[in-house]
A and B are shown apart, each in its own frame.
Chain A
Amino acid sequence: MTQANDGAAAGPVLECVDVERRFGGLAALSGIHMHVNRGEIFGLVGPNGSGKTTLTNAITGFYPPQKGSIRFGGRDITGTPPHRVAGMGIARTFQNLALFNGMTVLDNILLGRHIHMRPSVLRTALYWWMARAEETRHRAAVEEVIDFMQLQSVRSELVDGIPIGMKKRVELARALVAEPTFLILDEPMAGMNQEEKEYMARFILDARDERGVTVLMIEHHMDVITGICDRVMVLSYGESIGTGVPSEVIADPRVIKAYLGSAHGAH
């Protein structure tokens, strides 16, 4: 989508080279090599505490890696602060929802347009002359995503009051409306029932197919991983123990051992 990406159609959009992140003595991530190709849905799996969220936090600038580098669209983004990373076209959602309570669904999604808008005191003071046209233009973009994510019925509800499945969709909508080229989803289906999961999987596939977004997704549901991911990487204790096509990777004895424990893997 962006100019930086146009040249490298087949090459990786995101590249992590030898990424290491420590918290005191604990190595949350060490020696991570990962690359995500353009247009891919890339899964990130692993037991609790294996460093999946830490890796996304390293990419989005919350916990910059102490060693190694992260490249996005050919640019080194290691250590870039989160709000700048967002401006480069990386959007993300959170495991435990990070919506803005006290605002309507519409305003939450409108906030996703922030990087495309120019908020200022002057524009606010002279709203009719300097902001109304801009607000209307971005509202149109927001309404398109509201249609895409089928959120029309809750548009003007306060976001605190809608069901969790809807909240997850609002969060994805807020990420999508920024027109990112790269989308990071941290457990988008946590706490969902089968029907909601299927909806969500459909939205993620559509986002990739219709909006050209590359997706990096943390997920625990193996059916989802095998169903929609092109490639997957398995983390265990901060190290990568396998990357590849989901059906092959989850059959790997090391992966089974990491997930189910050594006693099971022994026989």
Chain B
Amino acid sequence: MRRTTESENKKLHKVKKKMEAKERRRKRPSYFGAMIDPKGFHPSQIKFYLILLPVLVFTILPILFIVSHAFKPIEELYAYPPKFFASRISFDNFRALVNATSQTDIPFGRYLFNSIIVSILVIIISLLLSSLAAFAFTYLNFKGKKFLYAANQLAIMFIAIAVAVPRFMMITYLGIANTYLAHIIPLIAMPVGVFLLKQFMEQIPKELNEAAIIDGATKWQVYWHVTLPMVKPALATVAILAFQIVWNNTETSALYIVDEALKTLPYYFGTLTLATNSIAAQGIQAASSLIIFLPNLILFIILQKQVMNTMAHSGIK
């Protein structure tokens, strides 16, 4: 490409814009609709902003409410008329949340530790398993491939709640009830993850693998050094989905874990918040919702670009 000076560039840009605008004016009556992903503001967008604004406000209001409620001092929770926003920031609710554990003898940090360790393990193992499987589905041949892939496609519809009973039996049968494994193993097979990764791998040019194999790389080396770096966006997306499932999960702690010291944070919050109906509990509920919600949100914001990239390949054909 030719290198241009800045002023030249600007000029070119101006001229181009003018021509584009002219073109647009000329075509407006017939060719006006397809303005997907516009580069800037245009008066025709006003109606879309007007549609979106109330929806966005409606969507974000409960979340703002949670945030402000979580930081309200106790006396303001009882205030009448009720206030939407806290007048001063207080950490009473969070303190109450942490201290409430003294009744159960299990410190707050223990639940937090369990949640973190279980989440990290589920993310790593599920990423490994689903990327290996997706690699096999995309590049390798083996017996039962068609059947397994068809089963996997159907299992994207899998409703975890519906198999709570046999899952309970299986966990007991395998002898992993009441251990960390009960948290981890049932969650690491993610049909959606395999599916998204496979869709992504199919977009990688075949020549890349072939070149690596000609250079003497094994399948494992191709997988690790060629394929995985190419599917990073899909890996990021699967990590987010896995985190969401495991971090928000309360069923495992409620149904398959008896030992209080092995239960996780959202379960503990659930016992605190569902048991009481009082107004003081509302603040604690908001604080705990916030603690569960924030890591999800932050992870998504960091990886948003990757997620959108993955979703472009997400179609079930």
The judgment on whether A and B are partners is no
